[in-house]
């Protein structure tokens, strides 16, 4: 008789949990996974994937307008149908959910479609009441949207609900200034809603380079997104006609049909039973782990957003893979968190890797900054007065590139490739040595002066 029911029990079938389960099973472990919502997790079901598809959908508003300048005759004003976009996006999500489930099945990972909690260092209790034992438990429960409490806060929606709206709202108030808030501001604005973004401070996208975020603010304002800074929610009242009266500090009240709160995501550890096994949390409720994702309990590991290291899908996937390599392949593996590229799929999108100008100045002291501020060829013909900005930051003593930041069409696509060079420690002169690929926007990277 085996000592435990499983070698590994994973709680949460999102980006990190699915990767860890699949790879551990491929190494020969007997694996089970519990998922209380849908296999795929936040990224697939209510995050990156449906979000990016909405961004594509919204961008057609500009493309259709610009098409006329390129000779296309489109009779009358283009008509947009929210239900078609929503339903097509949701069926694509279902397809990927099925593909993830197939992958787990084909690796003989047993799936429990229910909530699971920890009831001891090697014991899991399922919502149905059954208990299971495992040599190792991996917590991969992700994070959950944080909603501040104020009178009427029950009327808001979060990113969990926003993909399922019955109708496209005419007026949207969005709380927050991080990437989710700015991405949805762009989506709703392009789809024709009146958008107001409400934020406690006057800084958006705090982690990004100041020149790039200032450029987004300027372009977004020109596109008609209204920014209410130094504003906190006082109340939301539902009016007789079903609309919402939103009161915030320092600004006039406004009416809205939808209030979307995107003020951060907290690690999903509430009610998980971690205390029953003695697992330590930090002051934000995140699970404390070492560089191998091990908690203070030898049999319990945690990966992904629940550990609050870097809340991004590719990071959760790497952590899940490194866990499997470490525990089931005898190859202790850590994740390198240096130089992680990231993007905001706003309109236009922005992306960055490495240090911002102010971080580099504070860390290195002596830096050089190279910039290209230009209008993409396509925007010139379309008479779209929207400028791209590319910024390279180097260590003045060594010429090594320490940061690369950009805003403009396709910036995330271009930055992913350039991030390889930054991560590899290349210098500005290495970029200068490459012949430009003309005519592209990316050629600006090798022509910076
Ligand atoms: P998750 O993917 O959140 O998976 C956790 C799973 O655990 C969930 O399915 C949940 O239902 C389940 N679960 C929780 N508790 C239990 C329990 N007790 N029992 C059973 N199951 C449980 N990242 C990017 O890299 N790029 C993007 O463009 C991007 N866009 C995003 C847009 C939005 C709107 C949001 C919300 C997030 C976005 N992210 C993006 C972040 C990304 O989705 C997360 O970083 C990633 O999903 C984290 O993976 P995870 O495995 O840690 O957790």
- Atom of ligand 1 lying closest to residue 345 CA: 28
Ligand 1 pocket, mutate which of 313, 316, 343, 416 (most atoms under 8 A from CB): 313
Contact in structure between 225 and 58 (CB atoms under 8 Å): no
- Atom of ligand 1 lying closest to residue 115 CA: 19
Selection from 312, 391, 375, 318 nearest residue 344 by Cα: 312
- Residues present in the chain in total: 449
pLDDT tens-digit map of 221-244? 999 999 999 999 999 999 999 999
CA 291 to chain centre: 23
CA distances from 3 to 7, 11, 87, 132, 278 (A): 9, 20, 47, 12, 22
Q: Which superfamily, per CATH, for 6-145+266-328?
A: FAD/NAD(P)-binding domain (3.50.50.60)
Task: Please work out whether the CB of residue 47 comes within 6 Å of at least one atom of ligand 1.
Answer: yes
Task: Please work out whether the CB of residue 41 comes within 6 Å of at least one atom of ligand 1.
Answer: yes
Q: Read off the pLDDT of each residue in 284-296 and give the average, rounded to a whole number.
A: 98
Matching CATH topology for 6-145+266-328 and 153-263?
A: yes
CA 319 to ligand 1 center in whole angstroms: 14
Give, using CA atoms, the residue closest to atom 14 of ligand 1. 141
Give, using CA atoms, the residue closest to atom 27 of ligand 1. 48
Which distant-in-sequence residues (6+ apart) come within 8 Å of 264 by Cβ?
145, 146, 176, 178
- Atom of ligand 1 lying closest to residue 311 CA: 45
Q: pLDDT value at position 2?
A: 81
CA 325 to ligand 1 center in whole angstroms: 22
For 123-154, the DSSP string reads EEEETTS-EEEEEEEEE---EEE-----TTGG
CA 331 to ligand 1 center in whole angstroms: 27
Selection from 131, 95, 101 nearest residue 113 by Cα: 101
Task: Please work out whether the CB of residue 216 comes within 6 Å of at least one atom of ligand 1.
Answer: no
pLDDT tens-digit map of 105-129? 999 999 999 999 999 999 999 999 9
Give, using CA atoms, the residue closest to atom 37 of ligand 1. 47
pLDDT tens-digit map of 25-39? 999 999 999 999 999
Q: Read off the pLDDT of each residue in 308-322 and give the average, rounded to a whole number.
A: 98
Give, using CA atoms, the residue closest to atom 9 of ligand 1. 41
Ligand 1 pocket, mutate which of 43, 300, 309, 341 (most atoms under 8 A from CB): 43
CA 313 to ligand 1 center in whole angstroms: 7
pLDDT tens-digit map of 37-94? 999 999 999 999 999 999 999 999 999 999 999 999 988 888 999 999 999 999 999 9
Task: Please work out whether the CB of residue 305 comes within 6 Å of at least one atom of ligand 1.
Answer: yes
Task: Please work out whether the CB of residue 97 comes within 6 Å of at least one atom of ligand 1.
Answer: no
**What class does CATH assign to 348-446?**
alpha beta
pLDDT tens-digit map of 346-405? 999 999 999 999 999 999 989 999 999 999 999 999 999 999 999 999 999 999 999 999
For 176-224, the DSSP string reads --SHHHHHHHHHHHHHT-EEEEE-SSS-SSTTS-HHHHHHHHHHHHHTT
pLDDT tens-digit map of 395-442? 999 999 999 999 999 999 999 999 999 999 999 999 999 999 999 999
pLDDT tens-digit map of 137-193? 999 999 999 999 999 999 999 999 999 999 999 999 999 999 999 999 999 999 999
- Atom of ligand 1 lying closest to residue 117 CA: 18
Task: Please work out whether the CB of residue 139 comes within 6 Å of at least one atom of ligand 1.
Answer: no
**Cα-based angle 217, 196, 229 (whole degrees, multiple of 5):** 60
pLDDT > 70? residue 345 = yes
pLDDT > 70? residue 1 = no
438 is catalytic: yes
Burial class (CB in 10 A: 0-12, 13-18, 19+), 362: exposed
Q: pLDDT value at position 77?
A: 86
Q: Which superfamily, per CATH, for 153-263?
A: FAD/NAD(P)-binding domain (3.50.50.60)
Segments making up each domain of the chain, as ranges: 6-145+266-328, 153-263, 348-446
Among 59, 107, 321, 438, the one annotated catalytic: 438
Ligand 1 pocket, mutate which of 9, 10, 11, 12 (most atoms under 8 A from CB): 12
CA 44 to ligand 1 center in whole angstroms: 8
% of the chain surpassing 70 pLDDT: 100
For 64-100, the DSSP string reads HHHHGGGT----SS----HHHHHHHHHHHHHHHHHHH
């Amino acid at each position: 008789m085996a000592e435990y029911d499983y070698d590994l029990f994973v709680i949460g079938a999102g980006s990190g949990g699915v990767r860890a389960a699949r790879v551990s099973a491929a190494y020969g472990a007997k694996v089970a996974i519990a998922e209380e919502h849908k296999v795929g997790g936040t990224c697939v079901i209510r995050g990156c994937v449906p979000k990016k598809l909405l961004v594509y959908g919204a961008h057609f508003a500009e493309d259709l307008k610009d098409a006329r300048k390129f000779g296309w005759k489109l009779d009358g004003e283009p008509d947009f149908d929210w239900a078609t976009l929503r339903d097509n996006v949701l069926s694509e999500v279902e397809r990927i959910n099925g593909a993830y489930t197939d992958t787990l099945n084909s690796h003989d990972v047993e799936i429990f479609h229910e909530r699971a909690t920890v009831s001891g260092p090697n014991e899991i209790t399922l919502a149905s009441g059954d208990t299971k034992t495992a040599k190792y438990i991996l917590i991969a429960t992700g994070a959950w949207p944080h909603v501040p409490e104020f009178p009427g806060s029950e009327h808001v929606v979060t990113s969990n609900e926003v993909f399922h709206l019955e109708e496209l709202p005419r007026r949207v108030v969005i709380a927050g200034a991080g990437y989710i808030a700015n991405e949805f501001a762009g989506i709703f604005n392009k789809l024709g809603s009146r958008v107001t973004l409400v934020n406690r401070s006057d800084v958006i996208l705090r982690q990004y380079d100041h020149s790039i975020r200032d450029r987004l603010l300027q372009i977004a304002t020109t596109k008609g997104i209204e920014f209410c800074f130094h504003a906190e929610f006082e109340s939301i009242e539902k009016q007789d006609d079903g609309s919402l009266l939103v009161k915030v500090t320092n600004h006039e009240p406004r009416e809205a049909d939808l209030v979307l709160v995107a003020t951060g995501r907290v690690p999903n550890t509430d009610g998980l039973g971690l205390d029953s096994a003695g697992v330590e949390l930090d002051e934000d409720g995140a699970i404390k782990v070492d560089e191998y994702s091990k908690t203070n309990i030898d049999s319990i590991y945690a990966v992904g957003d629940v550990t609050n290291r870097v809340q991004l899908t590719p990071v959760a996937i790497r952590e899940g893979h490194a866990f499997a390599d470490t525990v089931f392949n005898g190859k202790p593996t850590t994740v390198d968190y240096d130089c992680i590229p990231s993007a905001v799929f706003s309109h236009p999108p922005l992306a960055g890797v490495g240090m911002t100008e102010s971080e580099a100045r504070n860390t290195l002291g002596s830096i050089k900054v190279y910039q290209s501020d230009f209008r993409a060829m396509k925007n010139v013909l379309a008479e779209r007065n929207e400028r791209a900005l590319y910024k390279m930051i180097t260590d003045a003593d060594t010429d090594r590139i320490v940061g690369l930041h950009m805003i403009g069409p396709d910036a995330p696509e271009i930055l992913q490739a350039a991030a390889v060079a930054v991560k590899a420690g290349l210098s500005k002169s290495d970029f200068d040595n490459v012949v430009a690929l003309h005519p592209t926007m990316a050629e600006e990277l090798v022509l910076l002066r």
